[in-house]
Chain A
Amino acid sequence: MDNKEYLTLFIEESQEHLQAVNTHLLELEKNNGSKDIISEIFRSAHTLKGMAATMGFEDLAHLTHHMENVLDQIRNDQLTVTPAVLDVVFESVDDLEYMINDISSGGSGKKDVQGAASKLEALLAGDKAAETASASNVSPEKHSVIPEYDQYEWAVIQESEEQGYHALCLNVTLDEQTMLKAARVFMVFGVVEKAGEVINCQPAMADLEAEAFENEFTVTLITKEEPENLQAQIAGISEVTDVHVHVVKKETVQTKHEEQSITEEKNQELSPPSNKAEMPQRQTEAVKTVRVNTDRLDKLMNLFEELVIDRGRLEQLSAELKHSELTDTVEHMSRISGDLQTIILTMRMMPVENVFNRFPRMVRSLSKELGKKIELDIVGADTELDRTIIDEIGDPLVHLLRNSLDHGIETPEVRKQAGKPETGTVTLRAYHSGNHVMIEMEDDGAGINKEKVIDIALSKGIIAAEDVEKKTDQDIYGLLFASGFSTAAEVTDISGRGVGLDVVRNTFESLGGIVSVDSEPGKGSIFSIQLPLTLSILDVMLVEAGEEKYAVPISSIVETAIITKDNIFHSHGQRVIDFRGRIIPLLSLHQVFAIPGSQEERSQHSIVVINKGGKIAALMVDHLVGKQDIVLKSLGPFLPDIASISGATILGDGNVALIVDVNTLIA
């Protein structure tokens, strides 16, 4: 069978399941073996195993199977959760992750899992019975497959028994030559559903419909029908080669679940309402969402961008023609496309959780490596950002986090001496702020050593000795992000991978973000990253200089103003102005971009006051044209690094305007 079309789905879902396993394992460590959590992990692992086996990734299925055995024992209280046990489980999760990543990048997903598998095996309690029983689930004997029911299903089976029904398990085998397996499945279900209520089918219904199974499947139903009748009815369906029906009873299964599971099931009995309430809810949620290929979303976005350009053109035309009906229609269309824009943009939004969720694991293993006690506190994981941004910020955030763990948080001894709790806390916070999303990483560590930063910066020639005095504390801390700052001496395994924080800054800035850092000695540091909500549609101020038009992103504009000649002063040969009591540099767009034709001499000038991480400057232009929504376009491979230009856009009149990269204008 051609698995290709399921592959993407498989990768996505297995990544989700692995993430769930990761998250729950961490919770498990905190809550010391809560049953609910183990069940969740078990469920994820089980699904993963099923999917991997279906897709033919044997190593993956094999390792998951071993992991499942360990989880099963934990679930049945045969194995206690200790950090050592979790380490082994985490290790195999890492292997699983490796394999899925390999598959996702086009590999075969093969890996020698024997090492990890035997480690898991070693964890298993000497209880061979459980081992063999679980094993028999995987390589089942024909005709006697009893699927694994979850606790909810067991509760249903038991309840129905009390009400005079019985649970029947049907193993149906289709002819190997069957062309339309899904159709046969449909017919079997037609019979089964008439007879009673289906509570479980394996593989899952979706897989059956998609024909993602070999030629056997198992259905469990609650019915009053006699097993023999049902068997005869199903055997009558063409291309069904074999049907085996048997009654599922609690006793038949207790051979594989040890005594503990009885108590467990009894517990379940006491709390079926909560389980039942959970089930329908999950189903409705499933109906509400649709998986859409991101390519399609990108296509939609591209088409919409074209529309935005045309909208600009129409608005311009209607303004020129002054035809009232046309104006009304264009205004209405603008409003509608504005709403459409919001919807499309929100469709591309993803919670930052997608990036954050791998951090708890990282903090756990790194703090062990570093011999530190560190707690990671995540706030606002549901804050949403454009998918394109989400895709990019993972690595730089990892870098920052490693930096905080390595250099920020002190060892427990040092913390104790400083009168702080032994466990350090790193808080990762995300929240909306206007048109931006802020991500903050705060630690309660030692803070940044200002003198050391100055020493390094001086020795590397990043700043001149005479400038040190003039720098504010923030300026000094900001030097951490200067290129060439990272020193070999402090490259450790954790935070140093040969790249400095300047790479982090560059990545964020290329996304239109701004990075800043503040610190208080002995109290800790905070790294703040301001990111735009979306990348492709920008709110800009169009300005004119000479014959040329440029777009300045509104997000970096403090305000626009008009200054007279008298407001311009000179300091160190540089033009400055007094802006609300602050002396700020005055740049001329004519000079920055060497615009042909000399700037007119006049008594008044329009300025745009721009801001980059708290530093401001004024940009002198000839005219302010107005505010506009524009679509950001790349300049392509011929023009990759044009100084102070971040991209281009097509204006309403069809001309191309360049977008000013404010970050590079302010040194």
Chain B
Amino acid sequence: MEPEQLEHTEEAVLTKVIVFQLNEEEFAIDVRRIQSIEKVKSITRIPGSAAAIVGVMNLRGIITPVIEVRTLFQIQGREMDEHTRILVLVREEYEAGLIVDGANDVMDIDLNRMEAPPESSGHRKNEYVDGVIMVDGRLITVLDLDKLITPLIK
């Protein structure tokens, strides 16, 4: 989202997003980009792959790479538990799964109310952050999936 568009606040542009947690933070991805939300199944490690790719899993006959978003965000890892979910993204050129700490919320957010990401949020890279938005007292970071995923494709 370009900064000048952020200023158009007259009209509400509602977008359905899936909200998921990583550690204590909440993130949102456009629901149209998510094919399904899966429980963690057996993941096969790929020796010598990029650190963020934990392995591949069998998703209804398709071998799907599984990406640990925490590694990309350079935030502390956490053991998988019963809340861990895999968000399955589908694009024409790839399918991929993202490991998240639980995804249980679908909400409509108004993209016009989205604010630019805070300039210096510490050590985190934020080129794949579209912006942040406050919804009912919760701060949600909206992600740009293409910027997040595409660098991983060689």
* Contact surface of A with B, Cβ cutoff 8 Å: 306, 309, 548, 592-596, 633-645, 648, 650, 654-658
Which residue in B41, B56, B57, B93 is a CB contact (below 8 Å) of A639?
B56
Interface residues of B in 120-154 (CB under 8 A from A): 152-154
Could you list 28 A-B pairs, sorted by A, with CB under 8 Å? A306-B61, A548-B44, A592-B47, A595-B47, A633-B63, A635-B63, A636-B65, A636-B95, A637-B94, A637-B153, A638-B49, A638-B67, A638-B152, A638-B154, A639-B46, A639-B65, A643-B47, A645-B48, A650-B63, A654-B41, A654-B42, A655-B44, A656-B42, A656-B55, A656-B56, A656-B57, A656-B63, A658-B44
Does B47 lie within 8 Å of A648, measured CB to CB? no
- Residue B58 at the chain A interface, CB threshold 8 Å: yes
- Residue B45 at the chain A interface, CB threshold 8 Å: yes
A636 to B42, CA, bound (A): 18
Question: In angstroms, how far is the closest chain A Cβ from the Cβ of B107?
Answer: 29
- Residue B96 at the chain A interface, CB threshold 8 Å: yes
Contact mask for chain B residues 66-103; partner A; CB cutoff 8 A; 1 contact, 0 none: 01000000000000000000000000011110000000
Residue of B nearest to A631 (CB): B61
Interfacial chain A residues near B55, Cβ < 8 Å: 656
Q: Given that A594-B47, A655-B42 are known contacts, is A648 also in contact with B63, CB under 8 Å in the complex? A: yes
Does B61 lie within 8 Å of A643, measured CB to CB? no
Interface residues of B in 8-52 (CB under 8 A from A): 41-42, 44-50
A595 to B64, CA, bound (A): 21
Does B94 lie within 8 Å of A638, measured CB to CB? yes
| Residue among A633, A635, A644, A656 having the largest count of chain B Cβ atoms under 10 Å | A656
Interfacial chain B residues near A644, Cβ < 8 Å: 47
Describe A's contact surface by its main secondary structure: loop
Interfacial chain A residues near B111, Cβ < 8 Å: none
A639 to B55, CA, bound (A): 10
* Contact surface of B with A, Cβ cutoff 8 Å: 41-42, 44-50, 53, 55-58, 61, 63-65, 67, 93-96, 152-154
Q: Given that A641-B154, A648-B56, A654-B58 are known contacts, is A636 also in contact with B44, CB under 8 Å in the complex? A: no
A593 to B53, CA, bound (A): 16
A645 to B95, CA, bound (A): 20
Residue of A nearest to B57 (CB): A656
Does B94 lie within 8 Å of A655, measured CB to CB? no
Q: Given that A648-B63, A650-B63, A654-B58 are known contacts, is A637 also in contact with B47, CB under 8 Å in the complex? A: no
Which residue in A594, A640, A643, A648 is a CB contact (below 8 Å) of B44?
A648
Which residue in A596, A643, A650 is a CB contact (below 8 Å) of B48?
A643
Does A593 lie within 8 Å of B61, measured CB to CB? no
A642 to B63, CA, bound (A): 15
Interfacial chain A residues near B53, Cβ < 8 Å: 638-639
| Residue among B55, B58, B95, B154 having the largest count of chain A Cβ atoms under 10 Å | B58
Interfacial chain A residues near B50, Cβ < 8 Å: 638
Interfacial chain B residues near A595, Cβ < 8 Å: 47
Q: A309-B61, A596-B45 are in contact. List 11 more A-B contacts (CB 8 A).
A: A635-B46, A638-B50, A638-B65, A638-B67, A640-B154, A641-B154, A645-B46, A648-B63, A654-B42, A656-B55, A656-B58
A593 to B49, CA, bound (A): 11
Does B56 lie within 8 Å of A635, measured CB to CB? yes
| 8 A-B pairs closest in CB distance | A593-B47, A656-B44, A638-B65, A637-B153, A655-B42, A650-B58, A633-B63, A637-B94
Residue of B nearest to A641 (CB): B154
A650 to B47, CA, bound (A): 17
